[in-house]
Structure 1
Amino acid sequence: MGLSWQQGPLGAKAVGQFLTPEPFPERLLFVEPLRRRMRVRLDGQWVADSEDVVLLHEPGRYPVAYFPREDVTGLDEESRTTNHRDLGATAWFTVLEKKHAAWQHTDLPDHAKVLEGRVAFAWRAMDAFYEEDDRIVGHAADPYHRNDIRRTSRHLVVRDGTRTIANTKRPLVLYESGFAPRWYVPRADIDTAALKHVEGETFCPYKGLASYYDIGERKRAAWSYPQAWPEVAAISGWVSFEPDVVDVFLDGRKLVLEPGQGVVSHGIDRGLDPDELQERK
């Protein structure tokens, strides 16, 4: 997902390659100015408000926003220190009595001085993060992550053994950074009696809340975003099927789950319930 997560260019399992005569280092960190006003709220107070935020992309991790120390309030330094494998000694802070809620790298190597004097917040320790007046959920928005949806007339068939679950020539295909294409089917082209809704929603910072379905003995074989966010509203209510759980055929070719497509599920941000999450739209 994006620059350094999943199979992005700086990820550990990048799907592409840099055309250089010498191999890149195993780990590359990338920092850039966010160029957006960002604010952080905790216990009814703004604890950070800055137009000078930088975004750190670290392999295998979501982007992290770093604020100038002078744009942050409510910090109490702790005795706790840790060591970052690339960025050195790290001091930790209590924020408005919330322990281990922020950190600062205090012995940066020369090549990383852009982070000097900057503080980052533990996402789930805070009540909310904002770009201007819009709440950002899940993690700092990755400018390199995008979703593109395309209509297609390709023939998609889903089967559970000999039973046809879906048969359509009008699926939507979702191209999401770092992932293989995902195919979404309108409910009119699905035997919806085969879908058994199960408990356990997951949250995507880029698409919203997903619901899941069993198909016969095949657990969580399909999912849907009942109220997908505006950026991907076209897939709202449509259903996608997991090709390593149920049999999915595209133009007669059986699909398989490509390597590196596993996802670490998000929980919903602290203090944000599903109803409020939908109101974000």
Structure 2
Amino acid sequence: MGLAWQQGPLSGRAVGRFLVPQPLPDRLLFAERLRRRMRVRFGGAWIADSEDVLLLHEPGRYPVAYFPRASIDDGVLLPTTRTTRHGELGETSWFIVEAGDGRAERAAWEHSDPPSHAEELRGRVAFAWRAMDAFYEEDERILGHAADPYHRIDVRRTSRHLRVLDGDRVIADTTRPLALYESGFAPRWYLPREDVALSALTETDVRTFCPYKGLARYYDVGLRTGAAWGYPEAWTEVARISGFLSFEPDRIDVVLDGVRLRLEPGQTVVAHGLDRGLDADEITKPLT
């Protein structure tokens, strides 16, 4: 969850509410300085490099990074006749991006004449995530979307009793799970493999990645498809869950301290926007 997507406070599906006497507008946009150096790579070349990136949080979308034009290499942006209209930010002009051995249509955009209350977006350009080779903060690649400063993960050790059942068959039984709290989502419970009947799991070809946890693998439990998943090599920030397994409570019975868990509203990850997504090939494909 971030500020404006999933169940964030500006998303339209917030788990909480603002304690104000009058309802807020249905859509609130929020812009802020990222305060991190961000770079863009395309066609085997660095095409943008800035410590003055503006992050736009828009309801129902992942955050989008806007670069000052001066931070983008000359000749990279080729104007087109294509324009669209943003509901709050007005006319949007689109560009072809060309650099090195790469050329991508509709790969960048600029809000040509933003309203006065959004003046900080004037003269700034955003790049379509999927169209670029890669995005970096300093020398480390970031994946999926611009990093959301409001997204946080905490992992906690617990001695609570967790069981996973396929009918009467015990798939897992542990009193040493890890509780993973991810920005306002319901907790996810990760189990050590030693406490799971691994012979009951069949690995699938499905792979997804989380911009904050890494590449996930999925498992069927009998006829319960995709009932389990895990991060074999979770990223450094959440390395404690590496090799652990978690189970989806809407696909198999997960019982915590005698209470069966249910999948809570808004828990499912949804990709937002045509220019971004959570495709595993972004992390697996080699960079040019």
Change (3 A) 1:163 1:274: farther
What are structure 1's unaligned runs of at least 5 residues?
Answer: 277-281
| Aligned residue type for 1:78 | T
Matched residue, 1:279 = none
**Aligned match of 1:147 in 153, 158, 177?**
153
Tell me by how many angstroms 1:275 deviates: 8.2
How many pairs were matched up?
275
Tell me by how many angstroms 1:234 deviates: 0.5
Tell me by how many angstroms 1:269 deviates: 5.7
How far apart in 1 are the matches of 2:144 and 2:42?
16
Identity of aligned residues (%): 66
1:4 aligns with 2:16: no
Matched residue, 1:27 = 27
Deviations 1:64-117 (A, max 9, x none): 000111111211100110111111100000110311110000121111111011
How far apart in 2 are the matches of 1:250 and 1:51?
46
Note the 1:30-69 alignment, pairs <5 A.
30-69=30-69
How far apart in 1 are the matches of 2:285 and 2:198?
24
Instruction: Answer whether contact 1:40 1:130 (CA < 8 A) is retained.
Output: yes
Tell me by how many angstroms 1:178 deviates: 3.7
Deviating 4+ runs (over 4 angstroms) = none
| Aligned residue type for 2:92 | T
| Aligned residue type for 2:93 | A
How far apart in 1 are the matches of 2:124 and 2:135?
17
1:130 aligns with 2:141: no
Note the 1:71-90 alignment, pairs <5 A.
71-73=71-73, 74-90=76-92
Note the 1:191-202 alignment, pairs <5 A.
191-202=197-208
| Aligned residue type for 1:81 | T
| Aligned residue type for 2:264 | E
How far apart in 1 are the matches of 2:25 and 2:269?
25
**Aligned match of 1:120 in 126, 130, 133?**
126
Matched residue, 2:194 = 188
| Aligned residue type for 1:222 | A
**Aligned match of 1:228 in 220, 231, 234?**
234
Deviations 1:195-219 (A, max 9, x none): 1111110111100011111111111
Q: What root-mean-square deviation, in Å, do the aligned CA atoms of Structure 1 and Structure 2 show? A: 1.3
Matched residue, 2:284 = 273
SS at match of 1:86: coil
Change (3 A) 1:17 1:39: same
TM-score (ref. length: structure 2): 0.93
Deviates more, 1:245-254 or 1:175-184: 175-184
Instruction: Answer whether contact 2:79 2:95 (CA < 8 A) is retained.
Output: yes
Note the 1:257-272 alignment, pairs <5 A.
257-264=263-270, 266-268=278-280, 270=282, 272=283
| Aligned residue type for 1:267 | D
Tell me by how many angstroms 1:274 deviates: 6.3
TM-score (ref. length: structure 1): 0.95
| Aligned residue type for 2:83 | T
SS at match of 1:166: strand
Matched residue, 2:275 = none
| Aligned residue type for 2:66 | Y
Deviations 1:125-147 (A, max 9, x none): 11111111111111100000011
Change (3 A) 1:275 1:98: closer
How far apart in 1 are the matches of 2:129 and 2:286?
20
How far apart in 2 are the matches of 1:269 and 1:219?
22
